[in-house]
Structure 1
Amino acid sequence: MPKMFSEAAASCKRTTLHGATMGTRWSVSMDVDNTENLAALRQALATAVEQVDAQMSPWKPGSDLTRFNRAPVRQWVNLSAEILQVLDCALDIHRLSAGAFNPCMGMLVDAWGFGAVRDAPDAQAIRAARQCAALTANAKLELDIPGGRARKHAPLGLDLCGIAKGYAVDRMVHMLQQHGVRHALVALDGELRAVGGQAGGVPWAVALERPDVGCRAVHGVIELEELAVATSGDYRRYLEIGDIRIAHTMDPRRCAPVNNAVASVTVLARTCMLADAWATALLVAGPDEGLSMAQRMTMDVMFLLRRAEELTEVGLGRFGTPPDRSSLACHPS
C-alpha cells in the first residue's frame, strides 16, 4: 500500500448515522477524516429521505402521490421534479419488463390489504381493481416533465413502493457527495449503495439475506464498491389467511399477489432506484421469464428459487460464479 494512501486511510474514522423513515430505518456507515459537521450532515440526510417519503408515500394525505391518486381522470396535476423522475424511470422499466413492473397497482395493493385503505383482502375491491387494470401503465399515465405535471387517462392508483426506497438511497448518496464524503455505505431496508470502497482500500461487505420466514440468516456476502444492490422477496411482508401466505408484491398480469417459485431476487445496478425496481420486476416475472429477461439485458442478478423444499441459487453476470462460494466481489466495470 502506498504511504500516502495508508496515511489518508489512517486519518479516517468509521462513523455511523441513522434514523427512522418509511416504516423502517436508514443508516450510513462512512469513513471520514472530519467529524465536526456530523450533526449537519445527519440532518441533511434525514431531510433528503423524508422529502422522498413526503412526496411518494401512499400513507401521507398531502403527498404528491396521494394528491395524484385523488385527482379526476384527465386532469393535469402539478408534481415535484423528484416524483416525475421516479415515474419516468418506472414507466421505462414497465416497458422493458413487458409489464412485470407497474407503478399503477395502487388500487390492487389496497384491495389485497397491503395499502393505506385496509389491512385484509376485500373481494369486492379486488374485482373493481381488476376491472381498472386492463390498460398498460404507459397508456393510462401521461407525464409532462418539462411542465412539471402528470395526468391519468383511466382510473388508477399510483404505488411506488417498489422503487421509492431505492430512489431515497440515491438521494442520500447525492447528499453525501455534496458534503465531500468519498467512502460510505448507505442502507434503507433491503436497498444499499456504496460510495467508493472503505478508506482502507477494501470494498464494503454486505450480507445477502437468506429468504426464510420468521428468522434472519445470512445466505452469503457481497463485496460492494461504487454500485447499488437491492433485494425483493416474498418472505418479509405478507398476509396469512388460514394456511395460505399471501406475498405483498402484486403481479400486474394476473392482478393478484405474486405466486411463483422465486423466493428472492438480488440485483446490482449503477443506481439504487434501478436496482430496486428491477428486483421487483424480476420477482414478478418469475424464474423462467425473469431469468431470460435478465440474461437478455446482461444484468447482474441472483435468483433464489424454492424447488423441492430447498433453495436453488441461479446467478447471472457478477453473480454467475459457482454456487459454493461464500462471497462475491462487485466492483465497477
Structure 2
Amino acid sequence: MGLVVLLGALAGCGSGESLERFDGPTMGSRYSIQYVRRSAAPGPKEVQAEVESILGQVDRQFSTYRSDSDIERFNALPANSCQLMPGPVLELIRVGEQLSAQSDGSFDLTVEPLLNLWGFGPQSREEKVPTAEALAVVRQRVGYGHLCIDGDRLCKDAAVEVDFNSLAAGYAVDRIAARFKALGIDSYLVEVTGELKAAGRKPDGAAWRIALEEPRDDRRVAERVIEVNGYGVSTSGDYRKYFEQGGKRYSHTFDGRTGTPVLHNLASVTVIHPSALMADGLSTLLLILGPERGWDYAEKHGVGVFFVLRDGDRFLTRTNDTFERISSAKSQ
C-alpha cells in the first residue's frame, strides 16, 4: 500500500493565505511539499532551498547509493573498526537498536548484505533464492549486536553494513517539519519518498487528506482516505519489490532473525505516529513481525495501525482504535 496526497483548493476566500507547492528528486525517488503561506511567511523559493539543504545533508549522511556518504564509508571498513559519526547517524543507530530489541532482532539495520545476496540491495546483481551455504556465510555479517556506539564513534566487531532505508526518509520529514516550525510555517504537508507528515489545515479550512492505496502491483486503488493533523504517516508493503521462484513470493522485507524474506499474508502496514521517523521504522517492524505478532506489538505500545492482509485474490483490512481516533480530523 502506498500513500497518495489528495490535492485541494489553492487559496482561501479573502483569507490572504495561499497554498504553495513544489517538489523535486531525492534519495532515488522524489519529495513534495505543500504549505500555507501567510503574509510574513517566506516564499516558495526560500523554503525550497531550506528543504533541499536538509535533504542533501540526509543523503550525504545516510545514502547507501553513494560511496562517499558517512554510512557507506563505515560500511566499507573491516571488522573491529570505528568511525567518527555526526549526531544524526548515531541518533538513528539508537532508534534502530531500540526497535531491534523490541522485536527480538527481527528488525535489524544491518541486513544490507542479505538484501544484496537475495537481489534487492544496491550491490546486488540477480534476484534469486541463495544456497544455504551462501546464506550462512552472509549471516555472519548481519546482526545489530555487532554495532557499538563509543562516544561520537560508531564501531563494529564484524564486517556488518548498515542500511537506513527504513528510517532515513521519516527522519528527513521530521527535520523539515522542525525547520518549518522555526520559519513560522504551521500548516503543511511534507512528503519524502512516500513518508509524510501533515499539520494544520489548508487555507479553506479543509484537512490534509491522504489516500491509502490497496497493495496491488497492477493498478492503483484507494483503500481508505484519512485526515491528518500533527502526525506522521508511513506505509510499508511487500508488493513493489519482490520476485517469485518455485511458486513462492519473496519480498524485499527481511526478518533479521532468519536472514530470509517474510512469507506471511500481511501485505502492507500503515502507521500513524507523532514522529514520522518512528512511523517509518514501525511500519517496517510491524510488516516483518506479521499479522499476529505485529498486531500484538501495536496494541501493547499504543501504535495506530491499518493492516491489509492477503486472502487468496482478495484483500482484508484491520485497523485498531488508536488509528481510528487519530486519523479523523474531527478529533484533532
What is the TM-score normalised by the length of structure 1?
0.88
Residue type matched to 1:31 in 2? V
Does residue 298 of the first structure (1) align with residue 302 of the second (2)? yes
Residue type matched to 1:120 in 2? E
The offset of 1:74, in angstroms, is 2.2
Q: What is the CA deviation profile of residues 73-122 of structure 1, one whole-angstrom value per residue up to 9, with x for unaligned ones? A: 22221111111111111111111222221111111111111112123146
SS in 1 for 2:328: strand
Aligned length: 318
2:119 to 113, 120, 136: 113
The offset of 1:244, in angstroms, is 4.6
Residue type matched to 1:96 in 2? Q
Aligned counterpart, 1:81: 87
Task: Give distance in 2, aligned partners of 1:7 and 1:42.
Answer: 22
Task: Give distance in 1, aligned partners of 2:23 and 2:219.
Answer: 23
Q: CA RMSD in A?
A: 2.4
2:234 to 210, 230, 236: 230
Does residue 215 of the first structure (1) align with residue 214 of the second (2)? no
Aligned counterpart, 1:10: 15
Task: Give distance in 1, aligned partners of 2:291 and 2:122.
Answer: 30
User: Highest relative contact order (Cα 8 Å, sep 6+), 1 or 2?
Assistant: 2
Aligned counterpart, 2:45: 39
Matched-pair contact (CA < 8 Å) for 2:27–2:193: no
Q: What is the CA deviation profile of residues 128-159 of structure 1, one whole-angstrom value per residue up to 9, with x for unaligned ones? A: 212333xx51x211113xx3211012221111
> Any unmatched runs of 5+ in structure 2?
1-10
Q: For structure 1, which segment, 224-233 or 42-51, has the greater mean C-alpha deviation from structure 2 after superposition?
A: 42-51
SS in 1 for 2:209: strand
Q: What is the CA deviation profile of residues 4-60 of structure 1, one whole-angstrom value per residue up to 9, with x for unaligned ones? A: xx9998111011011101111100111112476321210110111121112111111
Aligned counterpart, 2:146: 140
Q: Superposition pairs for residues 164-183 of structure 1, below 5 Å?
A: 164-183=168-187
Percentage of matched positions with identical amino acids: 31
1:246 to 229, 245, 250: 250
Q: For structure 1, which segment, 217-226 or 174-183, has the greater mean C-alpha deviation from structure 2 after superposition?
A: 174-183
Seen in structure 2, the aligned counterparts of structure 1 residues 320 and 143 have a Cα distance that, compared at 3 Å, is same
Seen in structure 2, the aligned counterparts of structure 1 residues 263 and 61 have a Cα distance that, compared at 3 Å, is same
Matched-pair contact (CA < 8 Å) for 1:20–1:26: yes
Residue type matched to 1:187 in 2? E
Aligned counterpart, 2:138: 129
Aligned counterpart, 1:185: 189
2:311 to 283, 307, 310: 307
Residue type matched to 2:34 in 1? S
Task: Give distance in 2, aligned partners of 1:330 and 1:229.
Answer: 14
Does residue 160 of the first structure (1) align with residue 164 of the second (2)? yes
SS in 2 for 1:41: helix
Seen in structure 2, the aligned counterparts of structure 1 residues 9 and 79 have a Cα distance that, compared at 3 Å, is farther
Does residue 30 of the first structure (1) align with residue 35 of the second (2)? yes
Q: What is the CA deviation profile of residues 156-199 of structure 1, one whole-angstrom value per residue up to 9, with x for unaligned ones? A: 11111111111111112122222211110011232110132334
The offset of 1:318, in angstroms, is 3.1
1:93 to 80, 99, 106: 99
> Any unmatched runs of 5+ in structure 1?
1-5, 322-326
Seen in structure 2, the aligned counterparts of structure 1 residues 199 and 143 have a Cα distance that, compared at 3 Å, is farther
Matched-pair contact (CA < 8 Å) for 1:58–1:115: no
The offset of 1:328, in angstroms, is 4.5
Aligned counterpart, 1:324: none
Seen in structure 2, the aligned counterparts of structure 1 residues 95 and 8 have a Cα distance that, compared at 3 Å, is farther
2:266 to 262, 275, 288: 262
Matched-pair contact (CA < 8 Å) for 2:195–2:233: yes
1:52 to 38, 47, 58: 58
What is the TM-score normalised by the length of structure 2?
0.89
